[in-house]
Chain A
Amino acid sequence: MTTTATAPAPGFEAPGVDAFQLPPLFGDVTKPVLQLVLAAIIIVVLFRVATSRMQLVPGRAQFLGESFHGIVRNTVARDMIGPEFVKYVPFLTALFAFVLVNNLFGIIPFLQFPTFSHPGVPYALAGLVWIVFTYVGVKHHGFGGYMRISTWPPDVPWWVRIILTPIEFLSNIILRPVTLSLRLFGNMFAGHLLLVLFILGGEYMLVVADSITLKILSPFAFLMGIVFTFFEAFIQVVQAYIFVMLTASYIGTVLADDH
């Protein structure tokens, strides 16, 4: 990064996938691994605080905890799953909290890395979701019944089923976890890349570049970085919500009775 006054400044190299290849901190442990553990600890501690000394008239912590739980319970689980929603609320609340905290790590100073921008992490989480909704479906309908509601379009001739069943099988059983994880990964990856680009671009314009015009214009790059940080905060919340909403809808779908 240090340049002598005479040498021409090196050209700006846009950040790419390299920005996500963080070196291991010790052993095989990287920053995203630590963030996953940290997220779990944060959530456990916050809910501990919120649920200790529960009172009929809630205190501040209890109120926040109950509001968070209420959002998942009322706007996600009840709408998506139907009459049997209550027993899935703890799982969905934990899932929402976990995704949300890990997403918000992307804009929290010093962490500033959304854990799910590494595709392996959302794959694992979507795999867990897949196991849950497949288990729920098989338990509720039996294996044959689960396959029937997932891959057997009603009221069509047999030869049409030959065409439609493979589509539904792929879409409902194979691709659901894939799209679920890729949606989250893509949003977090792109968002982080955008922030890195604006901040590194601003730094390059201010520190490295020779041109005085670029130095004067550099605050605008930082300003855009700040604007997009707020935008990212919004995206991170929305993506966590969508992730948990789709999970709930998958559970709701496999619980639904076909007719």
Chain B
Amino acid sequence: MEQEQPREVGSGAPGEQKPDRTPPPAEAWTALSHLLTGILLFGAIGWGVDQLFDLRGFTVAGLLAGAAASMYLIYVRYVKS
């Protein structure tokens, strides 16, 4: 995989004006999908912890942590790169 990369970049670069990343409209859908996935995934984990150990508050913590994690993921994927 690693050796392949320079050739790919080199062959695509000259006549190409498109940056080789996710196109903008799809970025929006993907970002939304990431956001919901993070919230639901960690919310579900928190809810599971709450149910398993008969606790409270982990659901909320999971939802919030999931939201934060997804936003960071979107930042890493689409803003920083």
Contact = CB atoms under 8 A, between A and B. Distances in A.
Interface of A is mostly: helix
Interface in A157-182: 160, 163-164, 166-168, 170-172, 175-176, 179
Interface string B1-41: 10011001100100110101111011001100110111001
B33 A79 contact: no
Contacts of A175: 33, 37
Interface residues of B, number: 32
B81 A154 contact: yes
B33 A179 contact: yes
Given A249-B25, A252-B22, A256-B20, A153 B1 contact: no
B42 to A, nearest CB: 8
A45 to B, nearest CB: 32
Contacts of B1: 141-142, 144-145, 148
Interface in B33-81: 33-34, 36-38, 41, 66, 69-70, 72-73, 76-77, 80-81
Nearest to A144: B1
B81 to A, nearest CB: 6
Nearest to B29: A246
Contacts of B30: 171-172, 253
A259 interface: yes
A127 interface: no
The bracket for how many chain A residues form the interface is 20 to 34
A168 B73 contact: yes
Contact of A249 (B5, B22, B37, B70): B22
Contacts of B23: 79-80, 249, 252
B80 to A, nearest CB: 7
B33 A171 contact: yes
Interface of B is mostly: helix
Contacts of B9: 257, 259
B69 A164 contact: yes
Contacts of A179: 29, 33
Contacts of A259: 9, 20, 81
B41 A166 contact: yes
A41 B69 CA distance: 48
Nearest to A171: B37
A170 B37 contact: yes
A249 B26 contact: yes
A83 B18 contact: yes
Given A148-B1, A168-B34, A259-B81, A80 B26 contact: yes
* For the complex of A and B, 10 pairs with smallest distance between CB atoms: A249-B26, A171-B37, A145-B1, A167-B38, A171-B33, A164-B73, A153-B76, A171-B34, A256-B20, A82-B18
Given A171-B33, A175-B37, A257-B5, 4 more contacts: A154-B76, A164-B73, A170-B37, A250-B26
25 contacts: A80-B23, A83-B12, A83-B16, A145-B1, A154-B76, A154-B81, A163-B69, A164-B73, A164-B76, A166-B41, A167-B38, A167-B66, A167-B69, A171-B33, A175-B33, A176-B33, A179-B29, A179-B33, A249-B22, A249-B26, A256-B21, A257-B5, A257-B8, A257-B9, A259-B9
